[in-house]
Amino acid sequence: MIHQAFLTACYILGSNYHSGQGSDGYRLLCLAETRAKREHSAWNIGRTVEQLDKNQLYPKGCDFRNHVAYFLKTMKKHRFHI
């Protein structure tokens, strides 16, 4: 579950900071999606991010949401290097 939270955080950062197919943010997004498909074949990372935004499947305060928030906070210093 922690690996999935890390990949979700990478996917969120990549989707927020990409400016086209040649950007580093888009590359990060594609790497996170490719690794998610390879390591967790039945898991759709895009739907997970969608459910995090809607607060339906992952309510506030659940472990998965807290792990994603932790990884986003730890990667905060790298946001402008993407």
For the chain of 82 residues, list the mean pLDDT of each consecutive stretch of 10: 92 83 83 92 90 85 92 80 57
How far is Cα 36 from Cα 9, in angstroms, rounded to an integer? 12
Backbone angles phi, psi at 53, to 5 degrees: -70, -35
State residue 80's pLDDT score.
Answer: 63
| The pair of three-digit structure tokens given for residue 45, joined into one six-digit string | 């990372």
Q: For residue 49, what are the contacts with CB-CB under 8 A and spacing of at least 6?
A: 8, 11, 12, 15
Residue 34 domain flag: yes
- What residue numbers bound the domain in which 30 lies? 2-77
Q: Quick one: DSSP state of residue 44?
A: -
Count of domains observed in the chain: 1
State residue 82's pLDDT score.
Answer: 55
State residue 20's pLDDT score.
Answer: 74
Residue 82 domain flag: no
State residue 22's pLDDT score.
Answer: 77
C-beta neighbour count of 50 within 10 angstroms: 12
State residue 81's pLDDT score.
Answer: 59
State residue 79's pLDDT score.
Answer: 65
